[in-house]
């Protein structure tokens, strides 16, 4: 899985040295290239950034400390989960676990708010709507294309927005996360 180290992965820069040098040894080109890659962040690659569902703003929802999920019982309902957006961060994917009531739909979207011409501008990066979500816990993956979604110094907020309408009944979601890198 991207961003998660496995014991079979080779260990090199930035975690350990690639080569031990003694005085007068020629420097290998591969070591210089790896050093440059570490400086620009390419060696760190992509990673999953875990979001805190309890930090969301809610409408007809509440965070369950005992269950570790957000529970929504009214209609309509929504939750906006904030993401720390650093300049140059590229959002590549978003996902969460969800549990529906089998009757009403649930939408998951990733939105970005930026300052454009002195005013906030909201754009939806990606949206997935699940019709009649099952009552079993299931993962929803947004499967984004990331080329156009790099944050800048003008980015105020990126948030994962989950909402639903229609038939009343309990819907839940948990473990929201986004896949990011810094190109």
Q: What is the CATH number of the domain that holds 130?
A: 2.60.120.260
| Bridge partners for 71 per DSSP | 62, 172
Task: Assess whether 30 and 56 both reside in one domain.
Answer: no
pLDDT at 139 over 70: yes
Residues 78 and 154 in one domain: yes
pLDDT score for 15:
66
> In total, how many domains does the chain have?
2
Residues 87 and 152 in one domain: yes
- Find the DSSP H helices in the chain: 29-40
Considering only CA atoms, which of 100, 111, 51, 48 is closest in space to residue 77?
100
Q: Which domain holds residue 68?
A: 47-181
- In the predicted structure, residue 165 carries a pLDDT above the cut 70: no
- The conformational region for residue 157 under phi > 0 = left, psi -120 to 50 = alpha, else beta, is beta
Q: Are residues 75 and 130 in the same domain?
A: yes
pTM of the shown model? 0.64
33 and 53 together in one domain: no
User: Stretch 32-59: mean pLDDT, rounded?
Assistant: 75
Same domain, 64 and 123: yes
Same domain, 53 and 31: no
């Amino acid at each position: 899985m991207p961003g998660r180290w496995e014991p079979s992965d080779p260990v090199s820069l930035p975690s350990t040295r690639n080569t031990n040098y003694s005085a007068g040894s020629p420097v290998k080109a591969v070591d210089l290239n790896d050093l440059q890659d570490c400086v620009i962040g390419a060696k760190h690659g992509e990673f999953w950034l875990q979001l805190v569902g309890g930090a969301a703003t809610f409408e007809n929802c509440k965070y369950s400390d005992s269950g570790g999920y957000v529970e929504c019982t009214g209609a309509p309902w929504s939750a906006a989960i904030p993401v720390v957006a650093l300049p140059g961060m590229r959002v590549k994917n978003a996902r969460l676990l969800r549990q529906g009531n089998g009757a009403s739909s649930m939408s998951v979207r990733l939105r970005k708010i930026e300052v454009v011409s002195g005013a906030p501008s909201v754009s939806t990066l990606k949206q997935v709507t699940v019709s009649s979500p099952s009552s079993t816990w299931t993962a929803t993956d947004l499967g984004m294309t990331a080329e156009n979604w790099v944050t800048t110094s003008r980015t105020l907020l990126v948030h994962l927005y989950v909402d639903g309408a229609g038939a009343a009944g309990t819907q839940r979601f948990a473990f929201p996360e986004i896949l990011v890198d810094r190109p």
